Amino acid sequence: AAAGSGLRSLSSAASGLWDRLSVLGAGVSKLEKALGDHFPEGERYFGLENFGNTCYCNSVLQALYHCIPFREQLLEYYATYKNTEDSEDNLLTCLADLFAQITLAKKRTGVLAPKRFVQRVRKQNELFRSYMHQDAHEFWNFLVNDIIDILEEDCRTANSSPETTPEEVSNRAANALANGARERPLVTLVHRTFQGILTNETKCLMCDTITAKDETFFDLSIDVEQNSSLTSCLKSFFSTEILNGEDKFFCDKCSSLQEAHKRMKIKKAPHVLVIHLKRFKYVEQLSRHKKLSYRVVYPLELKLGSMSEDADCEYSLFAVVVHVGSSPNHGHYVSQIKSHGNWLSFDDDTVQISEESTLQTFYGSSREHCGGNTDHGYILFYERLGGKS
């Protein structure tokens, strides 16, 4: 119902948008023919044009567009800000425009040119101005943090205006802000979709006092090991560390340095869990980064178990950003997306049906220097099962 109301608002706010839309190709596409009667009603599958090594951007955008909770909230934001006369262009409005262009497209498939969005990214961050190969994870981090900054600034601007009522503040943010934003830290569509809370626990081995500190996260960056699984890599990430020798912990109760056990745990699991596999490692002997092609098996269904305070927390994989190439400094990015039960491959302007079994080809190589396949899962997107956290 929420999605339906959001789309109705979208339609009323989208006057003139199609005039700015560049769609290539005509007639019934190969993808439409391939899906046939199984093409999801109301869904759109659009490739994104590459503007000179912007595959890092396109692959992350496809994962975000097919993250339904994020898409629905962003489209609601779009419907509201389009009705605001004094709204200025920024990265969030450009992203909302792009999502609306796809959603409101008359055709079910095609290719879009995200030129305005890419131009805005390059204007905003010099890291992405060159036509060199970029890191999709760095782009992901930049994008989500910039969206938060924009919404926080929106809230500050609205609150500082003497004419602005609380109702207008709420409308300006179009469900991107949570109720009570003035009193509590701002909760945006990014926080609601991707934010989790980690608890860092340190236990003094002398007095058994536990010191706990919470920190928020939007993704987990996990070290990878050869011939391992995502679950085992996560268990290593959350394993207990012994603090001794020069690393002893200062215990406030003992008023001295003591040996301690330190571990992390997920206190609040996010609605969408994003996991970054750290495949690019700096090697001091080489004075450069190298890509780790290690075989890491990631499951379609992920259970956090003892890693989370909610031991029954379970997730389902819906997107994989894949790095293609043997080096961190060159290569290509594509996305594998699960939409309405079908797996699809998004490779810049090309969208094709994929098979679930194809995901196995992105696990990595069981031998480091065997050559051959260089397509490896890099960023994994899991949606929580059983409703929101």
Reply yes or no on whether 332 is catalytic.
yes
Catalytic hit among 38, 55, 313, 340 = 55
The answer to whether 151 and 191 have CB atoms below 8 angstroms apart is no
Q: Which residues contact 276 (CB under 8 A, 6 or more apart)?
A: 137, 140, 219, 220, 221, 222, 378, 379
Reply yes or no on whether 55 is catalytic.
yes
Three-state secondary structure of the chain: CHHHHHHHHHHHHCCCHHHHCCCCCCCCCHHHHHHHHHCCCCCCEEEECCCCCCHHHHHHHHHHHCCHHHHHHHHHHHHHHCCCCCCCCCHHHHHHHHHHHHHCCCCCEEEECCHHHHHHHHHHCHHHCCCCCCCHHHHHHHHHHHHHHHHHHHHHHHHHCCCCCHHHHHHHHCCCCCCCCCCCCCCCHHHHHHCEEEEEEEEECCCCCEEEEEEEECCEEEECCCCEEHHHHHHHHCCCEEECHHHCEEECCCCEEECEEEEEEEEECCCEEEEEEECEEEECCCCEEEECCECEECCCEEECHHHECCCCCEEEEEEEEEEEEEECCEEEEEEEEEECCEEEEEECCEEEECCHHHHHHHCCECCCCCCCCCEEEEEEEEEECCCCC
Catalytic hit among 137, 271, 323, 332 = 332
The rounded distance, in Å, linking the Cα atoms of 71 and 64 is 7
- What the block records as the tokens of 285 is 């002997």
Q: Scanning the structure block, which residue is given the tokens 């040119």?
A: 113
Which residues participate in catalysis according to the annotation?
55, 332
